[in-house]
Structure 1
Amino acid sequence: MTQPLAFITGASSGIGQALALHFYQAGYRLALVARRTSEVKSWADAHGISAASYEIYSADVSVVDSIVAAGTECISRQGLPDVVIANAGISVGMDTAERDDLEVMVRTLATNNTGMAATFHPFVQGMTQRRSGTLVGIGSVAGIRGLPGHGAYCASKAAVISYCESLRGEMRPHGVRVVTICPGYIDTPLTRQNRYSMPFLMQPQDFARQAFQAITRGDSYRVIPWQMGVVAKLLRMLPNALFDRLLAGRPRKRRQNEPAN
């Protein structure tokens, strides 16, 4: 119990597992949250993570009562975390002309936005009373400028950035840090479905190392890798007419049930 504790959602694959492994190697105990708990257990065993160093919680972050219950159980079983990382998210293409895709947007916002607030909720009061702790929201460079065919995802990640900025101001007087991490393209099962070029593609372990540094420093906002931060800022500065022309004809994110080719 003397070791710090990190609570991480979306721990069954990709960025979540990379972050979990890096925090474990840095001496943290882990509270790992996922819908597919058996996959988390297999992964932890394969990486030699001590059984005494972690607990697994089954939850669906898109269901408020589910993720709140997981956070409450974590406090009961492992204590109040030092770091909470709201990493769980989904990314599916959207076409507003398709009725079914409106449900994609509902599900995306429920997972990426309401799910983030619900992830933080069980810990806010305890952290403010303790006057320490770090809440980490995983955004995306896709939240900086809207991309064709990415309406639901871009909107959700723009909301992550604004939400964390609001929360940061609320928590600051209480000694609780709020960190926004915006990944660029990370080589995960999620991004491997993309059918467009992905500049500055990063390996998950490299992302996790840089994210860990930003989190432990208490950076308010960080784009990883930094090159994508530069690209995003340049895109943000482009006039709309030039931005629209630049992205015209760009392949769109694959929609649900859409064939790979």
Structure 2
Amino acid sequence: MTPPLVLITGASSGIGQALALHYAQQGARLALVARRSEAMQRWLDAHAIAPENYAIYCADVADAQQMADLAQACIAQQGLPDVVIANAGISIGVDTSVPDDLAVMARVLATNVMGVASTFGPFIAPMVARGSGSLVGIGSVAGIRGLPGHGAYCASKAAVISYCESLRGELRQSGVKVLTLCPGYIATPLTQNNQYTMPFLMQPETFARKAAQAIAAGSSYRVIPWQMGVVAKLLRVLPNPLFDRLFAGRPRKPRATG
């Protein structure tokens, strides 16, 4: 049998890279999407992943035309993926009162939200026609409640959670599964500059293993690690005055323009 094909965006670092390594070790074929294709190639060479088991696609997920062209190239070169993981994302602090930060927020939303839709879109009709496939959106625990200084990131991940839920309902009887994965704090470049406590910090290799298990199980929603799922549920039910007091004065995410 032909090994399964897994497409991963944001595959040049962090969670995407960890997922790529995990699936490679499991014998899957890889379709790896990143803007930094040279960095991706160096990493693949360093891990001695056989060239016949992967293809690299250089694209920006925020560019819908690039993603449509990428999908056509992937299907022509490697076939229709079995799993598409929309992982590419950025996290930048914003201050809405600063005009320049509005452009930063627009960039975060374009990458984190529209990037997911642009990644999934070209593969939906072929997967429905085949009657199988998994679309995996990477949300975040940060999408469950808004945190001071994280307005762009929290808003983007809340949108990913709702979007994937909507898509799951639309594809319910098609044979195509939609899974929302919500990481807590994972030790990646995305979190390395955080100036605050990160409870239950998880290594990306552990996250990748647990994420792959959730995908294989056909789950529809999973928080990893599970402890952060409990924390998220507790935060969701906190009355607003108590939640606001709890996070008052908390260090903010560094701003691009500050």
User: How high is the TM-score relative to the length of structure 2?
Assistant: 0.99
How far apart, CA to CA, are the structure 2 residues paired with 1:142 and 1:104? 18
Number of residue pairs the alignment of both structures matches: 258
How far apart, CA to CA, are the structure 1 residues paired with 2:155 and 2:247? 17
Q: After TM superposition, give the deviation of residue 171 of structure 1 in Å.
A: 1.0
Question: What does residue range 170-249 of structure 1 map to in structure 2 within 5 Å?
Answer: 170-249=170-249
How far apart, CA to CA, are the structure 1 residues paired with 2:156 and 2:34? 20
The sequence identity of aligned pairs, in percent, is 69
Q: After TM superposition, give the deviation of residue 121 of structure 1 in Å.
A: 1.0
1:93 counterpart residue number: 93
2:122 counterpart residue number: 122
Deviation string 1:91-139 (CA, Å, 9 cap, x unpaired) is 0001000001100111011101111101011110110000000000000
How far apart, CA to CA, are the structure 2 residues paired with 1:154 and 1:190? 14
Q: After TM superposition, give the deviation of residue 7 of structure 1 in Å.
A: 0.4
Contact 2:100 2:257 in 1 (8 A): no
How far apart, CA to CA, are the structure 2 residues paired with 1:19 and 1:225? 15
Contact 2:101 2:257 in 1 (8 A): no
Question: What does residue range 64-75 of structure 1 map to in structure 2 within 5 Å?
Answer: 64-75=64-75
- After the TM superposition, which segments of 4 or more aligned residues of structure 1 sit over 2 Å from their partners? none
Q: After TM superposition, give the deviation of residue 63 of structure 1 in Å.
A: 1.2
How far apart, CA to CA, are the structure 2 residues paired with 1:106 and 1:85? 22
How far apart, CA to CA, are the structure 2 residues paired with 1:69 and 1:111? 17
Contact 2:184 2:228 in 1 (8 A): yes
How far apart, CA to CA, are the structure 2 residues paired with 1:143 and 1:11? 22
Asked if 1:102 corresponds to 2:102, the answer is yes
How far apart, CA to CA, are the structure 1 residues paired with 2:159 and 2:190? 20
How far apart, CA to CA, are the structure 1 residues paired with 2:256 and 2:218? 37
- Secondary structure of the equivalent of 1:118? helix
Matched AA of 2:159:
A
- Secondary structure of the equivalent of 2:256? coil
Q: After TM superposition, give the deviation of residue 72 of structure 1 in Å.
A: 1.5
Contiguous gaps of at least 5 residues in structure 2: none
Contiguous gaps of at least 5 residues in structure 1: none
How far apart, CA to CA, are the structure 1 residues paired with 2:46 and 2:253? 33
How far apart, CA to CA, are the structure 2 residues paired with 1:69 and 1:253? 34
Q: After TM superposition, give the deviation of residue 53 of structure 1 in Å.
A: 0.1
2:150 counterpart residue number: 150
Q: After TM superposition, give the deviation of residue 48 of structure 1 in Å.
A: 1.4
How far apart, CA to CA, are the structure 1 residues paired with 2:154 and 2:208? 22
Q: After TM superposition, give the deviation of residue 257 of structure 1 in Å.
A: 4.1
Contact 2:135 2:177 in 1 (8 A): yes
How far apart, CA to CA, are the structure 1 residues paired with 2:218 and 2:180? 10
User: How high is the TM-score relative to the length of structure 1?
Assistant: 0.97
How far apart, CA to CA, are the structure 1 residues paired with 2:72 and 2:247? 44
How far apart, CA to CA, are the structure 2 residues paired with 1:186 and 1:115? 21
How far apart, CA to CA, are the structure 2 residues paired with 1:155 and 1:35? 24
Matched AA of 2:78:
Q
